[in-house]
Amino acid sequence: MYEFDAWWRRTKKLFDEIDRLFEEMMREAISEEGIKPGEKRRVIGPYYYGFSVTVGPDGIPKVREWGNIKPGLIRPMVTETIEPFVDVIEEEDKVKIIADMPGVEKEDIQIHATERNVRISAERGERKYYKEINLPVKVKPESSRASYKNGVLTIELEKKEKTSREGGVRIKVE
């Protein structure tokens, strides 16, 4: 009987410690959002989430996520800013960026470009977009053009160094 009582006290102490840690984690999760126990949570919405899977030339799949929901440790994080779905297309003499940004006007869109990246942002009422894009090659930012039609932003940037069609240098065999 004595052994059972000792075992039960140790087991109960373990479960009490687990309960205490769980309660502490819940308090931290609530305080991270700035919500006090008993208060209602502020709901941010609407929610956007999507992903795209592509296979690169090396055969390795790439998963790209977009939207305003990001994975979190305890639960997903929802932000007010939406990360738009973006495609970067490298052509022979230019790089084309296509971004899906419905619900804003062209006057609301701001684009900042450097030789190696492009930053897109827009805000209209409740709708906010933000995305930073690293470019695959150096471009001439001063030669860029952008158009916005039916919720789709298209940016064209001229490459700094044009690539040859053959993709290299011919070497003479001796």
The strand pair at 94-100 and 85-90 is best described as: antiparallel
| Neighbour-count burial of 130, counting CB atoms closer than 10 A to its CB (0-12 exposed, 13-18 middle, 19+ buried) | middle
Contacts of 7 (CB under 8 A, 6+ apart): none
- Percent of the chain, pLDDT > 90? 37
Residue 157 scores a pLDDT above 80:
yes
Confidence of residue 170 (pLDDT cuts 50, 70, 90): low
CATH of 49-159, one of 2.60.40.790, 2.60.40.420, 2.60.120.10, 3.30.565.10: 2.60.40.790
Q: Where is mean pLDDT largest: 4-8, 41-45, 53-57, 99-103?
A: 99-103
Residue 158 scores a pLDDT above 60:
yes
Residue 1 scores a pLDDT above 80:
no
SS3 state at 158:
strand
Which two tokens mark 139? Answer: 């471009």
Q: What is the pLDDT of residues 96-110, one digit of tens each?
A: 999 999 999 999 999
Ordered by start, the domain boundaries in the chain are: 1-37, 49-159
